[in-house]
Structure 1
Amino acid sequence: MTDHLPLTSPQDPKPGSQSALRHRNEQLIVATLRELGPLPQAELARTTGLSTATVSNIVKSMCAEGLAHTSPTTSSGRRALAVSLLESPHVVVGIDFGRSHVRIVLASADHQVRAEKSAPLPVGHLATESIATAATMLADALAESGISRSDVMGAGIGVPGPIDHRTGTVIRGAILPEWVGVNIVARLEEALGMPVFADNDANLGALAQVTWGEHSAVRDLVFLKIGSGIGAGLILNGAPYYGHTGITGEIGHATIFDQGLVCRCGNRGCLETVASTALMIELLSRGEPRPLTVQDIIARATSGDAAALRVIDDAGMAVGRAVANVANMINPEIIVVGGPLAALGHILLDPIRRGLTRHAVPAIGEATTVVMSSLGDRAEVLGAVSLALNHTRKH
């Protein structure tokens, strides 16, 4: 029998590692027991497709961790051990800070969401104020769900910008310039009173696709978040790719036009200056009595408004051109598009595909699938949950 592909492990230096494989298989066993109830180990192996030795070893570890227990039973007239799940009180928290929102999810080790909250934040919000808001929301979520703070093992944090993983500091290029230079890890550990693990929102979106989405078997994936900023998260050989300092996937700062607008990063003609939702809002709000919102743009495009369709088509082609360079370099199996424009579906995907196939090596462009994320605006916070789970499992 063939065991399933490994689960990604953020910042794991060994893609496709045995620990990642073991975690993926444990998830499969937990899901099977949750759906079917107690099962003999042999039946559990047949149902999951895992080898009997793999099931035996994982069940033994789960029992030691208090996640399962075994009891004598009979199977096909023979003595056997039935495996049952034990519900653990432990949870982790995922927090996604956006340009104008904060979202929190509490989830258990078997990926069951126990509580979820979101709140708007003012554009240009300061780290101190936003962290205080998140801490209050977490306290409320714990109280409402009856979960003790002592049962929270740690928190995964997502921010819309690059983080230097050596220092835990937000660096220049973030959508939240007010957060640049902030040691987000230290600040949140102090505010929340628990271990904190932080990452860029696009990286967490990619992690969510292979832990919560339908792409768990994909080994090479690009998650492309298109919003006020544009970023890419990379899954290579079954694990997130972080590079030397943890700053990867900054596709929003790929130069598209040498003589284009000056970008917030200091360069000129970056992808974000021609394809972000901020640029779309600016273009389509001209002559309007009030600035449009992303939802306004989606509504106009889906109703066939020519100006909205043209702006989205131009943006999609530019994104496709930029992502073609990434595809030529790493040859991903799938590109998943997420962010606030996900409701546009093929209206945005079609020009991205055209840009990709026009500028990628033909064999790569034709073999790369481009789809919308099924996780919607929850992708980043669910990825933050997975980040926390992967780190707390190591301790």
Structure 2
Amino acid sequence: MTPKIPPHTLWRPGVSATVRRVAETLRAHGPRTRAELVSLSGLSRASVSTALAELSAADLVTERTGPSDRSAGRTLGGRPASVVRLTRAAGIAAGVDIGRRHVRVALADLDHDVLAERQTHTDFDADDRPHEVLELAAGLLTDALSDITADRDEVVGVGLGVPAPITHDQRIGARPMLPGWADLRPSDAFGDLIRLPVRAENDANLAALGEYVWGAGRGCTNLVHVKLGTGVGAGIVLDGRLYRGAAGTAGELGHVTLDARGPVCRCGNRGCLELAVGGRALLAHARQANAGLADLAALIAAARAGDPGCRRLITDAGGQLGYALGNLVNLINPQRVVLGDELGSATDLLREPLQRGLAETAIASAAEAVEVVRSELASRAGALGGVALALGANPRG
């Protein structure tokens, strides 16, 4: 008789290694055919079949005819292949994105279907009050679970995004960039609040992962996602995996030096890209002529409406961004650059000056090979990237 696995114990000790490997393959890669499971798991066809029988007996997987998400149209002998999917009983993955003035939460089942999303804005800077914003995030997670009538013990993992580099041991990697958080391990602090397993990651990295799994990076194994908000950051995906670097600081595009004699940046260096392209800097310049501009969205709206000062600021920002990206394109030769967050919504205004700056600094063949596109997920990218991290879609190497 096939042994029964109680729901929600699948990810705990005691489950056979073979069953766990098949389940984790489905969790990371989403719906798959049996042939794909054999290839991705490295197990024999017989081992996969035995594991699926055990999972099916526990109502943790279903199997039906139809294309898998990443192999649509494949057939076996002219017939549609049978696709295996994890059920809701296998658990829920959560993503949490903490920004300077926002918190976003997303929930998905282990079949990679997004179930619920919530967001709120704060009247304080999360940079300075980590404990308050983490408590706010915990409440938002509870509300999102309530939206889908789910209990916290159904959550198998949480991916948490914070606006600073995260080291391999889950610490803040550049203390001056987020001093209020410097003595925290964000994953531990949030995990203690919600009593769930948490992995923390840089918010730009999670946005890149979100676009790679669900958005403008689908089907592209080498891409850069540029987060253009209050600051500037980049997430880099190489050969289908996030590239974090030795200390977790890979992708800190905002701290590329454009002018070695320029003003001092919050990171301690001079003339950083963030001082020319970051939302704080752009608003400070724009308000010299238009003190009534409320935020970056208002600046973009004014530029689109023809305000010459605001339009010039965005044009110049695009050119400076292009210069910095040209060096990055020379180094890693990506297929696609995705522009996201608030300023990324103005890709129509940024693209031409960005392409000019790119052409002036990148090798011609690399510049011609890269496609610059707008984010498909916009403000959702970070939270959905957190979900992808919790799913194991990009395990840390």
Q: What is the TM-score when the length of structure 2 is the normalising length?
A: 0.80
What does residue range 237-276 of structure 1 map to in structure 2 within 5 Å? 237-276=239-278
Distance in 2 (alpha carbons) for counterparts of 1:345 and 1:81? 40
What does residue range 276-287 of structure 1 map to in structure 2 within 5 Å? 276-287=278-289
Task: Determine helix, strand or coil for the equivalent of 1:246.
Answer: coil
Task: Determine helix, strand or coil for the equivalent of 1:99.
Answer: coil
Give the counterpart letter for 2:87 in structure 1. E
* Unaligned ranges ≥5, structure 1: 1-17, 31-40
Distance in 1 (alpha carbons) for counterparts of 2:28 and 2:367? 32
Distance in 1 (alpha carbons) for counterparts of 2:54 and 2:118? 33
Mapped contact 2:26–2:85 kept (Cα < 8 A): no
Q: Does residue 343 of the first structure (1) align with residue 341 of the second (2)?
A: no
The structure-2 alpha-carbon separation of the partners of 1:277 and 1:210, relative to structure 1 and needing over 3 Å to count, comes to: same
Q: Does residue 115 of the first structure (1) align with residue 116 of the second (2)?
A: yes
Q: Does residue 101 of the first structure (1) align with residue 94 of the second (2)?
A: no
Paired residue for 1:376, among 375, 378, 384? 378
How far the C-alpha of 1:215 sits from its partner, in A, is 2.7
Distance in 2 (alpha carbons) for counterparts of 1:151 and 1:393? 21
How far the C-alpha of 1:324 sits from its partner, in A, is 0.8
How far the C-alpha of 1:307 sits from its partner, in A, is 1.0
Distance in 1 (alpha carbons) for counterparts of 2:85 and 2:366? 44
The structure-2 alpha-carbon separation of the partners of 1:59 and 1:315, relative to structure 1 and needing over 3 Å to count, comes to: farther
Distance in 1 (alpha carbons) for counterparts of 2:114 and 2:236? 25
Mapped contact 1:257–1:268 kept (Cα < 8 A): yes
The structure-2 alpha-carbon separation of the partners of 1:24 and 1:305, relative to structure 1 and needing over 3 Å to count, comes to: farther
How far the C-alpha of 1:57 sits from its partner, in A, is 7.2
Give the counterpart letter for 2:166 in structure 1. I
What does residue range 220-369 of structure 1 map to in structure 2 within 5 Å? 220-369=222-371
Q: Does residue 88 of the first structure (1) align with residue 88 of the second (2)?
A: yes
The structure-2 alpha-carbon separation of the partners of 1:362 and 1:83, relative to structure 1 and needing over 3 Å to count, comes to: closer
Paired residue for 2:165, among 162, 165, 168? 162
The structure-2 alpha-carbon separation of the partners of 1:215 and 1:124, relative to structure 1 and needing over 3 Å to count, comes to: closer
Corresponding residue for 1:3? none
Corresponding residue for 2:11? none
Superposed CA deviations along residues 268-311 of structure 1, whole A, max 9, x for unmatched, are: 10001111111111111124343431111121122122111110
The structure-2 alpha-carbon separation of the partners of 1:149 and 1:299, relative to structure 1 and needing over 3 Å to count, comes to: same
* Unaligned ranges ≥5, structure 2: 1-20, 65-75
Mapped contact 1:93–1:107 kept (Cα < 8 A): yes
How far the C-alpha of 1:56 sits from its partner, in A, is 8.4
Q: What is the TM-score when the length of structure 1 is the normalising length?
A: 0.80
Give the counterpart letter for 1:114 in structure 2. L
Task: Determine helix, strand or coil for the equivalent of 2:88.
Answer: coil
Greater Cα offset, 251-260 or 56-65: 56-65
How far the C-alpha of 1:193 sits from its partner, in A, is 0.3
How far the C-alpha of 1:214 sits from its partner, in A, is 4.2
Corresponding residue for 2:3? none
How far the C-alpha of 1:251 sits from its partner, in A, is 1.1
Mapped contact 1:220–1:332 kept (Cα < 8 A): yes
Mapped contact 2:27–2:110 kept (Cα < 8 A): no
Mapped contact 2:273–2:321 kept (Cα < 8 A): yes
Corresponding residue for 1:68? 61
Mapped contact 1:142–1:148 kept (Cα < 8 A): yes
The structure-2 alpha-carbon separation of the partners of 1:186 and 1:82, relative to structure 1 and needing over 3 Å to count, comes to: closer
Give the counterpart letter for 1:342 in structure 2. G
Task: Determine helix, strand or coil for the equivalent of 2:32.
Answer: helix
Task: Determine helix, strand or coil for the equivalent of 1:218.
Answer: coil
Corresponding residue for 1:136? 139
How far the C-alpha of 1:232 sits from its partner, in A, is 1.0
CA RMSD of aligned residues (A): 3.2
The structure-2 alpha-carbon separation of the partners of 1:180 and 1:81, relative to structure 1 and needing over 3 Å to count, comes to: closer
Distance in 1 (alpha carbons) for counterparts of 2:52 and 2:343? 41
How far the C-alpha of 1:319 sits from its partner, in A, is 0.8
Aligned length: 352
Give the counterpart letter for 1:183 in structure 2. R
Mapped contact 1:169–1:185 kept (Cα < 8 A): no
Identity, in percent, stands at 35
Distance in 1 (alpha carbons) for counterparts of 2:322 and 2:51? 45
Mapped contact 2:28–2:393 kept (Cα < 8 A): no
